[in-house]
Amino acid sequence: MSYFDAASAAPLHPVARQALLAALDDGWADPSRLYREGRKARMLLDAAREAAAEAVGCRTDELTFTPSGTQAVHAGVAGALAGRRRAGRHLIVSAVEHSSVLHSAEAFEAEGGEVTQVPVSRQGAVDAGSYEAALRPGTALACLQSANHEVGTVQPVAAVAEACRAAGVPLLVDAAQSLGWERVEGDWSLLTASAHKWGGPAGVGLLVVRKGVRFAVQGASDERESGRSPGFENLPAIVAAAASLRAVRADAEREAARLRELTARIRARVPELVPDVEVVGDADRRLPGIVTFSCLYVDGETLLHELDREGFAVSSGSSCTSSTLTPSHVLKAMGVLSEGNVRVSLPAGTAEGDVERFLDVLPGVVAGVREKLGAPPVTSAVRAPEAPEVVVDSLGKRCPIPVIELAKVIGSVPVGGLVRVLSDDEAARLDIPAWCEMRGQEYEGEEPADRGTAYLVRRVD
């Protein structure tokens, strides 16, 4: 099996495994106790904190270990907002933040707070000027990821941090995807991360709160981890997380260059090998190992299953693989195609031969899925006697069927004619405009329909 889903969870690093096993023997006692075994555990915890703080670029007393990256985000957002309650009740986030940040924002909004979502470009990047424009009197906190977990786009954290600092607003950075590669640049105020993203064990997160940042712990607390993460520390996992972070960073520059070459190869060759594909995310300002693309006329769930059958583990932001049947909020915010979406995220050590085999297998897999779904011949529509308007009833059908049926009939209207696609699938709101942009047709918007929405497409050629 070629594992290409490191952005979800990187394989356990050998150093993490060694450190975990060693700490199970030496780090089982309560590090708050004064007897020998307790002191031994305390030494391990202190050493892990020093190693993690060095990697982050912060003081040891600014760093807290948490049970997960998600818990670090929730604690960080809630604590910073509560600490600055007198400053105001306004929170700024980007539209492509990790769900943990957006869920925190939803909870804050439910309690009476106000949230501004800063939009992103089609490449998935925020504009630092837009963040600055969103700042205002009463802004308590701003949040921005260092890099996007779905498409790999690196965000302008340093520029946003400078604007926030000038306005006196703390910036929380979700560094989960990037911390294994490098420190986060800029004068940020809070930072969160998750060990399983860089090859540490699951169940360890980092929360960094810079000195001088007003912070009020929410919920019950105790004397552990400065009161910011109550409960007995999972010391073996913490030791393994810190050891693996130091190990991956020692090799990060060399490995990043190698993975960038492999992902650049995928970005260039997938559109050559597979017709009607959109490669998404910034081509230059991106993480080393992530490349994401979407295939027209493809059911994402079937595509992932077929790739798994061929020995490749990949993930998807397609609504066709989602239990909610709604497209990824990241792809939706970018305005790109969501159907048939594939995220390839290469772990450290990925062999060049595995990437080549993926490129060999992918065209046949996509073609097979398209054939099963009855997709039209690529780059052409089915011709029929011309009518000034055609109605496509796709009610009750899920992606990518509405787009497939649109593609089949677009040739049956004259140039300037209209196709009205009826759909109750939320993904159609994103995928039909994306199809129009890819195929050079004009999207005219949407209208309410009896049991869904009518999407209007004007034939251009």
Residues designated as active site: 320
The strand pairing partners of 174, in sequence order, are: 145, 192
The H helix count followed by the E strand count for the chain is 13, 16
Q: What is the DSSP string of 392-407?
A: EE-TT--TTHHHHHHH
Instruction: Give the Cα separation of 161 and 142 in Å (integer).
Output: 9
Question: At residue 442, what are phi and psi to the nearest 5 degrees?
Answer: -100, 125
Under a CB-based contact definition with an 8 Å cutoff, are residues 293 and 338 in contact?
no
Under a CB-based contact definition with an 8 Å cutoff, are residues 335 and 122 in contact?
yes
CB count in 10 Å sphere of residue 45: 21
Strands of 57-182 (E only): list them.
63-66, 90-94, 114-118, 139-145, 171-174
Instruction: Give the Cα separation of 205 and 185 in Å (integer).
Output: 20
Specify the residue for token string 């993460």.
229
Amino acid at 14: P
Instruction: Give the Cα separation of 260 and 358 in Å (integer).
Output: 16
Tell me the longest C-alpha to C-alpha distance in the chain.
88
